[in-house]
Structure 1
Amino acid sequence: MKIVVLGGGESGCGAAYLAKKKGLEVFLSDKGAIKDHYKQFLMENDIEFEEESHNEERVLNADWIIKSPGIPKKAEMIGKIHEKGIRLSSEIEFASEFTDAKIIAITGSNGKTTTTSLIYHILKNDGLNVGLGGNIGHSFAKQVADENHEYYVLEVSSFQLDDIQNFRPYISLLLNLSKDHLDQYNYNYEEYALAKFRIAENQENDNFFIYNKDDEMSKNILEKLEIKAKMIPFSTKEKLNEGGFINDDKIVVKIKDEFSMKIDELSLLGNHNVANSLAASIAGKILEINNESIRNSLMTFQAVEHRLEVVTEINGVKYINDSKATNVNAAYYALESMKAPTVWIVGGVDKGNDYTEIEDLVKRKVKAIVCLGIDNQKIVDFFKNKKELIYSTSSMEEAVEISKSLAKKGDTVLLSPCCASFDLFKSYEDRGDQFKEQVLKN
């Protein structure tokens, strides 16, 4: 069987490595330049590759093509692959065909990385033999090739789910839905939502689907879809007979027996993280992890870098790095969790943002807005009659300097940009790292 892998990053190289290890004929092709350490990896493992162009004839002669999630669905080459009827899969689809491990797969518009990491922490902390992959950590395919895990916890994006055929997790989890990446889904919110729901499409009645009962779009879609897996809801708004919910100041999970713990004992900040903790606890209970172990994990978990990450406190001012908040919904959660007057650093590449969603929160929680981007006009125009203190900056150094001058003892400086990072930074990680560096400068 001839395997062609498109894309020479973490997932592509992992998929090529797994194919090679399984004795399949494999060729990797990347339209851009491949990073040196990945090139080194391909050469060390005797995997044939090309970069900065696609040998179309060779690509289209494949029996099975594995596509990296970063390649747009509308790319010319993808159109040609579909025309020829060649099987096209994501790395998670490909790798899942070579393992009998139980897969816990997590998707959603916000909170995926945190919840995936939290579930991994719960399993690892209980002594289970577990791997972490998908959109996070090391390539799932490479782990399947080299490591014999009994469980995999995978963060899964809509782009990866677009390219599945048989992918069937033991537990699938859909955290929430909000308008994101709509440019890849014909600006159709329902089309994007349906892509997320594909996480459950191959599940059978011996599998589990955890979903958010409070999420409006999920409710709408569930009326139209038939899901075979056992459905278990969570809610922060209503008490449930089965699933996860809040009762007074506690999270409660009812599956067979009952698990509960005080919300203020959770290591994660914010209402949205209460929902994430409920979802993760349900997964733990399905896997029959005992209550004490789940409680210990929820108390000891460290927040994911760049997601409501407390950097430091200087002169009574708390600095929080939420650089991973690249859409309005993510920034909403961050602002909602702020307890102190907040200097808010926002801006970057706008993805068609509608700031009315956070208008009320900004009025109530934010004392000053510091815009950070090449073009801050849209944000300035939207908030100029709603907030007196609005500043425009075009470097992280300037943004942090102004924020420090505005913040008083007891305040919080929050980087939660609402936007993509590519105008001034290499990535959201780079943006968060630069924020931390500038904050910690004397």
Structure 2
Amino acid sequence: MTMSSANKTFKKDTCTFLVILGGGESGVGTAILAKQKGYKVFVSDLGKMADKNKEVLEENNIDWEEQQHSEEKIFQADLVMKSPGIPEDAPLVNKLRGKGIKVISEIEFASEFTNAQIIGITGSNGKTTTTSLTNFILKNAGLKVGMAGNIGQSFAKQVADNVADTFVLELSSFQLDGIENFRPHIAVMTNITPDHLDRYNHRLEEYIASKFRITKNQTEEDFFIYDADNEIIEKWLNEFPIKSRKLPFSLQKEVENGACIKDDEIQITIDNNKFNMPTNTLSLEGKHNAKNAMAAATVAQLLRIRKETIRESLENFQGVEHRLEKVLKINNVQYINDSKATNVNATYYALESMEAETVWIVGGVDKGNEYSELLSLVNEKVKAIVCLGIDNSRIQNAFSNCVDIIVETQSMEEAVKEAYKLAERGDAVLLSPACASFDLFKNYEDRGRQFKEAVRNL
């Protein structure tokens, strides 16, 4: 399925001046694509831009500014693409909309200039692993595939370079907020749990609605793959029916069309076309990864990938950096980097998968976390907690009654050294923060890499 060019709306004859707010990966990629398509382009970044991005803009003769927004020039725009990091209700964005200037996302803009088949993957947790795994299967099948969105190189830049016939896009709620006509042929929703509520007026229903924008333009010809065990998703689908064909996956119940676990096998059925493989041959461990595998394999089934290719891919996939990544074993203690766990639900999956007694490194910028759902797992699996953050009071209050040892630290090096002292042979040390990273680190990647470096320096 491809979108016909008749549906494309952002053409040179209708929009000649594109302003891009944000000079990061998505902004620079959009600038290159827009210049290629004949737009007049201006990139404006309120912060300081990376030197490499400024060099790319200069090489392409694209006008830019940093550390300011020149509103007089910006308000001349026919169309604005904003970085997903800029809130929807930022004062400048509100002013633009007040003047009737359309504000969209990179995903929306770039999708107008490709007829490639699009697979869009969203969810509160698991979307990076599912996107990477889907990409891995399709590449192993010999497809000309591009991976983009919230991962990899900019979608717009890849469209400009014409690198793919199929795109696998990891989509955050922030990116989906800026779509109007974007239509993935296959949409995947890994799950929905409360996250980023500070961007959605602390209203869960606004966050859910944002996620479900992925289905907004789908038709009966398209597919929606989703977690049927997730009550939030099921409730929304009952209240707001979608047009696309639903293919659920579940660990808890059998499904007629979709994916489930039966007799210790993944079983996928789509119109009498069946796929199965034993769960114990999956390379990724944990129940959550069984779900990620089911979602990715369902996509591959829809695209008629050879069953043997799907099985081999699921057996050999090595996972993504910062997601339950085994770093080193020291004195028979396994150190695990799960820095990408920036919310409670992600950490729930991590703790659930732990089989050894665990020293848990947790903390950071608390997004209004509800830690109570972790209590039973912490009680069962965690022998000591190492807090890593500027303010650890909520973590201490939540777990002081079920864990005897709670240590406060203010740097990754200190946290890893304390965990080393507390761990005994056969234990695991797990970094799974359940929080954002911005108090002590640039981002979760920086946090994860500092953890790995500190472990290697023990």
Give the TM-score taking structure 1 as reference length.
0.99
Partner-residue secondary structure (3-state), 1:223: helix
Q: Choose the corresponding residue for 1:155, options 170, 173, 195.
A: 170
CA apart distance, 1:262: 1.3
CA contact (8 A) 2:146 2:163 kept: no
**Alignment match, 1:282:** 298
Render the CA deviation track for 1:260-312: whole Å, top value 9, x for unaligned. Answer: 11112111121101111001110000000011000011111111000100101
Render the CA deviation track for 1:389-413: whole Å, top value 9, x for unaligned. Answer: 1111111111111111111111111
Q: Choose the corresponding residue for 1:60, options 64, 75, 86.
A: 75
Question: 1:10, 1:332 → 2: CA distance?
Answer: 31
**Alignment match, 1:302:** 318
Q: Choose the corresponding residue for 1:49, options 64, 74, 77.
A: 64
Render the CA deviation track for 1:72-104: whole Å, top value 9, x for unaligned. Answer: 112110101111121111001000000000000
CA apart distance, 1:193: 0.4
State the Cα RMSD in Å.
0.9
Question: 2:359, 2:264 → 1: CA distance?
Answer: 29
1:409 partnered with 2:418: no
Question: 1:114, 1:63 → 2: CA distance?
Answer: 37
Q: Choose the corresponding residue for 1:260, options 256, 259, 276.
A: 276
Question: 1:330, 1:54 → 2: CA distance?
Answer: 36
Counterparts of 1:315-334 in structure 2 under 5 Å?
315-334=331-350
Counterparts of 1:307-386 in structure 2 under 5 Å?
307-386=323-402
Question: 2:239, 2:33 → 1: CA distance?
Answer: 37
CA contact (8 A) 1:343 1:414 kept: yes
CA apart distance, 1:59: 1.1
Counterparts of 1:240-259 in structure 2 under 5 Å?
240-255=255-270, 256-259=272-275
Q: Choose the corresponding residue for 2:148, options 133, 138, 157.
A: 133
Question: 2:383, 2:173 → 1: CA distance?
Answer: 36
How many aligned residue pairs are there?
442
Question: 1:241, 1:202 → 2: CA distance?
Answer: 26
Partner-residue secondary structure (3-state), 1:413: strand
**Partner AA of 1:47 in structure 2:** I
CA contact (8 A) 2:80 2:104 kept: yes
**Alignment match, 2:411:** 395
Question: 1:250, 1:270 → 2: CA distance?
Answer: 14
User: Runs of 5+ in structure 1 lacking a partner?
Assistant: none
CA apart distance, 1:53: 0.8
CA contact (8 A) 2:44 2:66 kept: yes
Identical-residue share of aligned pairs (%): 58
Question: 2:107, 2:88 → 1: CA distance?
Answer: 17
1:238 partnered with 2:253: yes
**Alignment match, 1:272:** 288
Q: Choose the corresponding residue for 2:115, options 97, 100, 117.
A: 100
1:178 partnered with 2:193: yes
CA contact (8 A) 2:151 2:170 kept: yes
**Partner AA of 1:35 in structure 2:** A
CA contact (8 A) 1:269 1:308 kept: no
Partner-residue secondary structure (3-state), 1:296: helix
Counterparts of 1:115-130 in structure 2 under 5 Å?
115-130=130-145
**Partner AA of 2:346 in structure 1:** A
Partner-residue secondary structure (3-state), 2:355: coil
**Alignment match, 1:81:** 96
**Partner AA of 1:8 in structure 2:** G
CA contact (8 A) 2:389 2:410 kept: yes
**Partner AA of 1:180 in structure 2:** D
Render the CA deviation track for 1:194-214: whole Å, top value 9, x for unaligned. Answer: 100000110111111111111
Render the CA deviation track for 1:340-361: whole Å, top value 9, x for unaligned. Answer: 1111000111111110010111
Task: Provide runs of 4+ in structure 1 moved above 3 Å.
Answer: none
User: Runs of 5+ in structure 2 lacking a partner?
Assistant: 1-15
Which stretch of structure 1 is more off in the superposition, 164-173 or 373-382? 373-382
Q: Choose the corresponding residue for 1:27, options 32, 42, 45.
A: 42
Question: 1:311, 1:251 → 2: CA distance?
Answer: 28
Partner-residue secondary structure (3-state), 1:306: coil
CA apart distance, 1:248: 2.5
Partner-residue secondary structure (3-state), 1:165: coil
